[in-house]
Amino acid sequence: MEKPEKLIIDGKRLDGRAPEEMRPLKIEAGVLKRADGSAYVELGENKVLAAVYGPREMHPRHLQRPDTAVLRCRYNMAPFSVEERKRPGPDRRSVEISKVTRQALEPVLFLELYPRSVIDIFIEVLQADAGTRTAGITAAAVALADAGIPMRDLVSSVAVGKIDDMIVLDLTKEEDQWGTTDMPVAIVPRKKLVSLLQMDGNLTEEEFKRALDLAFRGCEQIYQAQRQALKEKYAIKPEGE
Amino acid sequence: MLYVQNREMVVPGQLIAEDGYRVHEGAFREGKFVYASVVGLADLREREVRVIPLQGCYVPKRGDVVVGIVVDSHYSGWILDLASPYAGNLFVSDLLRRKVDLVREDISQYLSMGDVVVANVKDVDERMRVQLEASEPGMGKVEGGKMVELSPMKIPRVVGRKGSMLNTLERIGECKLKVGQNGRIMIWGRNQQMINAVVEALLMIEREAHISGLTDRVRQMLEKIKSKGGK
């Protein structure tokens, strides 16, 4: 795709959204039978699957912590998730995202309840359209809750950015590519804590404040969808009656 | 002050109560507020709050009866898998209820790999090392029978209030059950068809644990199968 002349025309973005509007969001909990907990998130063209295993015995043993559980996280993009085939396996980018995802989720978990064990999170990006790390965190938080792991709160995550000198919510691939700034944010909604904040590009102090405020509002929508997904999985439906 | 109704579904981080409530499992306190820590049903009883979890793993607790599988042996005992992040350790003397001279006696005659053992959790230390004992009657190595594995969070429903569900299963199913808190259940009986019916009933309990009127549905289902078997 060629670079478009303008990313915002008459106050509407390329896909017809308003600047402060999120892409359509779908969250489903408990989609994988053999995982202890799982979740599937669709955010626009993003399709992300998260699976949680554990707490289980930690192998290799020397990585065990005698007083607490260890959280391990793997973010992986499927080779077919992007237009040009991605070479499979971990690369610099996915190792970094795995690490920031782990750090975004760690503060909400009661890891000290499960000494010597490990909780594994696997995030698989099936289709990517910018903002996969935030969709991954959103999915992983639901998967952790679905696995019955005690948590202080969920974690909700969304990206904000600047395109054509305007602060917008939830960038698409085109906006990420041609825009000036991309800023993924993860939030612990109840206490309004920021557990992930990265930025590619630049913002003035004023713009940053507006962007962060917009991210908080976006995360609130995501948080509601996460809660809804968890409640729906166990909605009362007796069989054969 | 309460923010949810009794038996209402809650998710982690959801506010349940404020001021002066005692907090049990599945919930935590921050300041004067009580929040849920797991997905489950809020169970509110006069100034006490707990959340009945719908999902989760078994964590050994002192006094629990568990069904373990021998996965390893060592000089003076065995390691048992407990369907949990933590394995259990069973010493010979805790199995046989007597002093054992390890030099003279070969302990491999008592248990081998893959054997199923009903045991009691004797102690769990702060590093979650689990000490087992199989000294009470009805404990020790299991002979025959069928084993079913359920989610350990559904075990309270299998037992029922004051053992009501367990009674129903044993009486109508004409079999004997041993329920391990770790989610493993042993079934012994003469009638193969009824054993299978009880297995079906247990799986039904697992699926519908959070829906009320379960004991009646289980009774109906078992009686239906039983009447068919009588023809």
- Picking from B56, B127, B130, the residue whose alpha carbon sits closest to that of residue A115 is B127
Nearest CA to CA, how far is B12 from chain A (Å)?
5
Task: Fill in the amino acid letter for B227.
Answer: S
Q: What does the pLDDT average to over B124-143? A: 92
Q: Does domain A16-231 have CATH number 3.40.50.300?
A: no
Nearest CA in chain B to A190: B13
Hey, are the CB atoms on B11 and A231 less than 8 Å from each other? Answer: yes
| Residue B194: strand, helix, or coil | helix
Instruction: Yes or no: say if A158 and A169 are a contact pair by the CB < 8 Å rule.
Output: yes
The segment(s) of chain B belonging to CATH 2.40.50.100 are 9-53
Nearest CA in chain A to B55: A148
Element (H, E) at A105: helix A92-105
Q: What's the rounded Cα separation, in Å, for the pair A97 and A100? A: 5
Domain boundaries, chain A: 16-231
Encode pLDDT of B14-55 as tens digits.
Answer: 999 998 899 999 999 999 999 999 999 999 988 899 999 999
Hey, are the CB atoms on B127 and A231 less than 8 Å from each other? Answer: no
Q: What does the pLDDT average to over A155-170? A: 96
Instruction: Yes or no: say if A46 and B67 are a contact pair by the CB < 8 Å rule.
Output: no
Q: What does the pLDDT average to over B206-223? A: 86
Q: What's the rounded Cα separation, in Å, for the pair B23 and B41? A: 14
2.40.50.140, 2.40.30.330, 3.90.1150.10, 3.40.50.620: CATH of B65-141: 2.40.50.140
Hey, are the CB atoms on B11 and A149 less than 8 Å from each other? Answer: no
Close Cβ partners of B53 (under 8 Å, ≥ 6 residues apart) = A148, B25, B26, B38, B39, B40, B153
- Picking from B128, B85, B55, B38, the residue whose alpha carbon sits closest to that of residue A118 is B85
Angle between helices B214-230 and B192-207 (to 10 degrees): 160
pLDDT of res. B207? 87
The token pair that represents B92 in the structure block: 């010979």
pLDDT of res. A236? 61
Rg (CA), chain A: 18
Hey, are the CB atoms on B56 and A147 less than 8 Å from each other? Answer: yes
pLDDT of res. A108? 97
The token pair that represents A222 in the structure block: 């995501």
Q: What does the pLDDT average to over A225-238? A: 84
pLDDT greater than 80 at residue B121: yes
Phi, psi for A139 (deg, rounded to 5): -65, -45
* Distance (Å) of CA B182 to CA A109, B22, B167, B171: 23, 26, 20, 23
Q: What does the pLDDT average to over A234-239? A: 61
Q: CB distance from B23 to chain A under 8 Å?
A: no
Q: What's the rounded Cα separation, in Å, for the pair B41 and B154? A: 13
Instruction: Yes or no: say if B148 and B184 are a contact pair by the CB < 8 Å rule.
Output: yes
Q: What does the pLDDT average to over B124-147? A: 92
Residues of chain A with Cβ-Cβ distance to B12 below 8 Å are 108, 145, 150-154
Q: Domain B146-230 class?
A: alpha beta
> Which residues pair with residue B52 across a beta bridge?
B41
Q: What does the pLDDT average to over A133-159? A: 97
pLDDT of res. A214? 97
User: What's the DSSP call for residue B135?
Assistant: -
Q: CB distance from B53 to chain A under 8 Å?
A: yes
2.40.10.10, 1.10.3720.10, 2.40.50.100, 3.50.50.60: CATH of B9-53: 2.40.50.100
pLDDT of res. B225? 86
pLDDT of res. A237? 56
Cis omega (within 30 of 0) for bond into A60: yes
User: Which pLDDT band, with edges at 50, 70 and 90, does A129 fall under?
Assistant: very high
Supply the DSSP string of B153-179, one letter for each residue: GGHHHHH-GGGHHHHHHHHHHTEEEEE
For B:95-134, CB contacts with A below 8 A are 126-128
pLDDT of res. B46? 85
The segment(s) of chain B belonging to CATH 2.40.50.140 are 65-141
User: What's the DSSP call for residue B79?
Assistant: E
Residues of chain B with Cβ-Cβ distance to A109 below 8 Å are none
- Picking from A14, A20, A182, the residue whose alpha carbon sits closest to that of residue A6 is A14
Q: What's the rounded Cα separation, in Å, for the pair A48 and B180? A: 37
Q: What does the pLDDT average to over A107-130? A: 97
Hey, are the CB atoms on A151 and B13 less than 8 Å from each other? Answer: yes
Query: CB burial class (10 A; 0-12, 13-18, 19+) of residue A193?
Result: middle
Encode pLDDT of A176-227 as tens digits.
Answer: 999 999 999 999 999 999 999 999 999 999 999 999 999 999 999 999 999 9
Encode pLDDT of A45-78 as tens digits.
Answer: 999 999 999 899 999 999 999 999 999 999 999 9
pLDDT of res. A240? 42
| Residue A55: strand, helix, or coil | strand
Q: What's the rounded Cα separation, in Å, for the pair A200 and A185? A: 12
Element (H, E) at B132: strand B130-133
pLDDT of res. B231? 43
- β-strands A117-127, A70-77: how paired? parallel
Q: CB distance from A147 to chain B under 8 Å?
A: yes
The token pair that represents A57 in the structure block: 């015995």
